[in-house]
């Protein structure tokens, strides 16, 4: 059961020895010290635009199966500026194990493409109006997340493009693997991407399942920004207009499958069968 909790102060934390972590007791909250943090209940953002903001290096957040709830929860349209969890100019960021629902952006990690370290795993990110997961850092791992109902139709009360992204990543050494991106929707004329990676080298996009509504101009995986040495392998696509696009970038792709067996692959170098 979702429990609404209002926190007017910027920091709402308590010691949680039984959990081996510091419990986040309200939202919005700012975490300004390294350590392990967790939830012991669902939290609802009722004030401000960021439910959890992290300004320290070396912070790990375990949602413990609980939920962060934002303004789009239940399909309510509005401004796409809210963020569930924001790591702001930090290194060695970790977030895992829970649900983030109803935000403009679910998870945002900003550290600069030459800084190091982020792990985003085992999350359900849903009812998002812009980008489910956005990472700008090197050596980031984004794995085993379920992303669903990313919808440009949730954008309102703003000058909005209504374009949407499931996972966006910038930086070297990025791994995006084992994610399911399901049910993306946006107006027919808007071009959107399930996974986009840019300004990257030595990156791997592997074993993801991508399914869109099938009527929009969706690309499954887009590699851009003069990226190089990017490998896109063993992904499955349903309802995408283009499965994989390398734009001004270099890399290889292999063993990718589209639902109709007639995938559209642009740029890059095929090194195995793709359908």
DSSP 185: B
Is residue 69 included in any domain, yes or no?
yes
Is residue 232 included in any domain, yes or no?
yes
Q: What is the mean pLDDT of residues 196-206?
A: 97
Query: pLDDT tens digits for 83-131?
Result: 999 999 999 999 999 999 999 999 999 987 676 789 999 999 999 999 9
Residues near 250 by beta carbon (within 8 Å), at least 6 away in sequence: 227, 228, 229, 230, 268, 269
Whether 251 and 223 have beta carbons less than 8 Å apart is answered as: yes
Structure-token pair, residue 233: 């392998």
Q: How many domains does the chain have?
A: 1
- Say yes or no to pLDDT of 216 above 80: no
Is residue 182 included in any domain, yes or no?
yes
Is residue 21 included in any domain, yes or no?
no
Q: What is the mean pLDDT of residues 266-273?
A: 94
- Say yes or no to pLDDT of 193 above 80: yes
- Say yes or no to pLDDT of 8 above 80: no
Is residue 80 included in any domain, yes or no?
yes
CA-CA-CA-CA torsion sign (117, 52, 95, 59) = positive
List Cα–Cα distances, 88 to 55, 114, 150, 247, 254, in angstroms.
Answer: 5, 15, 23, 29, 35
- Say yes or no to pLDDT of 4 above 50: no
Q: How many CB atoms lie within 10 A of CB 46?
A: 17
List, in sequence order, every residue forming a beta bridge with 222; answer none if it has no partner.
196, 245
Query: What is the SS3 assignment for 91?
Result: coil
User: How would residue 225 be classed by pLDDT, with cut points 50, 70 and 90?
Assistant: very high
Average the pLDDT over each of 5-19, 96-110, 123-137, 206-220 and give the range with the smallest value: 5-19
Is residue 7 included in any domain, yes or no?
no
Is residue 11 included in any domain, yes or no?
no
Q: What is the mean pLDDT of residues 55-61?
A: 97
pLDDT at residue 177, rounded to an integer: 99
Whether 135 and 160 have beta carbons less than 8 Å apart is answered as: no
Provide, rounded to the nearest whole percent, the portion of the chain with pLDDT above 90. Answer: 73
Place of tokens 């590699």: 223
Q: Using alpha carbons only, what angle is made at residue 169 by residues 100 and 88, rounded to the nearest 5 degrees?
A: 65
Is residue 35 included in any domain, yes or no?
no
Query: pLDDT tens digits for 73-82?
Result: 999 988 889 9
Structure-token pair, residue 219: 């690309």
Question: Measured between alpha carbons, how far is 40 from 209 in angstroms, rounded to an integer?
Answer: 31
Q: Which domain holds residue 117?
A: 46-270
Query: pLDDT tens digits for 158-190?
Result: 777 788 999 999 999 999 999 999 989 887 677
pLDDT at residue 17, rounded to an integer: 47
Residues near 191 by beta carbon (within 8 Å), at least 6 away in sequence: 163, 217, 218, 219
């Amino acid at each position: 059961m979702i429990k609404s909790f209002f926190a007017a102060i910027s920091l709402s934390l308590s010691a949680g020895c039984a959990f081996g972590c510091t419990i986040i007791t309200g939202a919005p909250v700012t975490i300004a010290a390294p350590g392990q943090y967790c939830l012991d209940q669902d939290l609802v953002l009722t004030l401000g635009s960021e439910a959890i903001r992290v300004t320290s290096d070396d912070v790990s957040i375990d949602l413990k199966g609980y939920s962060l709830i934002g303004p789009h929860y239940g399909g309510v349209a509005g401004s796409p500026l809210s963020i569930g969890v924001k790591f702001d100019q930090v290194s060695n960021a970790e977030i895992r194990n829970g649900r983030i629902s109803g935000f403009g952006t679910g998870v945002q990690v900003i550290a600069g493409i030459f800084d190091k370290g982020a792990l985003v795993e085992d999350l359900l990110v849903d009812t998002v109006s812009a980008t489910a997961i956005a990472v700008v850092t090197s050596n980031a791992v984004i794995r085993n997340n379920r992303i669903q109902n990313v919808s440009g139709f949730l954008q309102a009360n703003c000058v909005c493009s209504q374009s949407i992204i499931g996972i966006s990543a910038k930086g070297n050494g990025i791994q995006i693997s084992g994610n399911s991106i399901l049910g993306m929707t946006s107006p027919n004329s808007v071009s959107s991407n399930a996974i986009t990676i840019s300004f990257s080298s030595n990156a791997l996009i592997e074993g993801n399942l991508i399914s869109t509504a099938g009527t929009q101009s969706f690309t499954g995986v887009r590699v851009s920004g003069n990226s190089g040495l990017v490998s896109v392998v063993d992904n499955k696509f349903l309802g995408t207009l283009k499965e994989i696009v390398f734009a001004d970038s270099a890399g290889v792709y292999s063993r990718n499958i589209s639902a109709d067996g007639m995938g559209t692959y642009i740029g890059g170098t095929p090194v195995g069968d793709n359908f």
